[in-house]
């Protein structure tokens, strides 16, 4: 059940203090997941301050102290394995630079072991949508622990693989898994470059990004 559903139990959008406390204890108030199955990993939103289905701005409910902002020293929101922020940013920038040098403007996304974004970069002059397409490719590479181009070849032929595809994936070339030892800790995806088959040049740039950090991953 999403927080939006829980809010419905609390007499619409007007919360009593006790119910607000329950929400804060159970989930962050920002973890309302959009209903669309195409929503990307980590696409969690506050269930207030946004338009509802009727076009009304949902009012901010009473929130107990500490329920909205996490204080200093709070436990991390995620402990999923993945490349560090520094390495994720470096890999993304290297991929952008590799594509720029080849004449392409792209978006690059690096995700961790659960598909949450670690770094997203859009090249100057690039359509801002590319980072989200790149994330969908990266999630494909992360889930299948293989280049997304390889998944594109295998998935249509294997019902078991096809059953693992989610609406949030884009099963085309352009992403590579990030592997340490035998463990996939994330992936890097690129979108916006030309190339045939689809995503070939994207994957070349993803390889440049991954190559920049490969020896320092742990």
The predicted-structure confidence for 101-130, as pLDDT tens digits, reads as follows 999 999 999 999 999 999 999 999 999 999
pTM, to two decimals:
0.82
Q: At what angle do helices 200-213 and 85-101 cross, to 10 degrees?
A: 140
- pLDDT mean over 186-198: 91
Query: Beta strand 175-180 with 107-112: parallel, antiparallel or unpaired?
Result: unpaired
- pLDDT mean over 8-26: 35
CA 139/CA 151 separation, integer angstroms? 11
Q: Using an 8 Å Cβ cutoff, are 145 and 184 in contact?
A: yes
Q: Using an 8 Å Cβ cutoff, are 52 and 58 in contact?
A: yes
CATH fold of the domain at 85-216? Beta-Lactamase (3.30.450)
| Structure tokens, 95 | 């991929």
- pLDDT mean over 86-105: 97
Of 82, 106, 85, 81, give the one whose Cα is nearest residue 208.
Answer: 106
Give the three-class secondary structure for 208: helix
SS (H, E, C) 177-203: EEEECCEEEEEEEEECCCCCCCCHHHH
Helix and strand element counts for the chain (H, E): 7, 4
What would the DSSP string read from start to end of 43-81? --B-SSSSB-TTSPBPPPPP--TTSSSPPTTPPPS----
Q: Provide the 10 A C-beta neighbour count for residue 27.
A: 15
Confidence of residue 82 (pLDDT cuts 50, 70, 90): very high
- pLDDT mean over 208-214: 97
Output the average pLDDT for the chain: 85
Confidence of residue 74 (pLDDT cuts 50, 70, 90): confident
CB-neighbour burial class of residue 172 (10 A; exposed 0-12, middle 13-18, buried 19+): buried
Positions of CATH 3.30.450.150 in the chain:
85-216
- The answer to whether residue 34 scores a pLDDT higher than 80 is no
Top pLDDT among 69 and 129 is at 129
Confidence of residue 41 (pLDDT cuts 50, 70, 90): confident
């Amino acid at each position: 059940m999403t927080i939006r559903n829980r809010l419905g139990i609390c007499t619409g959008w007007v919360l009593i203090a006790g119910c607000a406390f329950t929400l804060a204890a159970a989930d962050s108030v920002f973890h309302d997941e959009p209903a669309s199955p195409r929503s990307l990993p980590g696409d969690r939103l506050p269930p207030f301050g946004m338009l509802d289905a009727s076009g009304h701005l949902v009012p901010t409910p009473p929130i107990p102290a500490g329920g909205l902002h996490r204080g200093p020293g709070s436990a991390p929101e995620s402990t999923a394995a993945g490349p560090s922020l520094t390495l994720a940013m470096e890999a993304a920038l290297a991929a952008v630079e590799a594509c720029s040098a080849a004449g392409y403007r792209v978006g690059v996304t690096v995700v961790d072991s659960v598909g949450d974004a670690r770094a997203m970069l859009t090249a100057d002059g690039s359509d801002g949508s590319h980072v989200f397409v790149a994330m969908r490719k990266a999630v494909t590479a992360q889930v299948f622990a293989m280049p997304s181009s390889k998944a594109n070849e295998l998935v249509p032929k294997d019902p078991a693989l096809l059953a693992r595809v989610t609406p949030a994936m884009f099963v085309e070339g352009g992403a590579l898994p990030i592997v340490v030892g035998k463990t996939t800790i994330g992936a890097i995806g690129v979108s916006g470059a030309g190339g045939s088959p689809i995503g070939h040049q994207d994957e070349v740039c993803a390889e440049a990004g991954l190559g920049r950090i490969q020896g320092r991953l742990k």
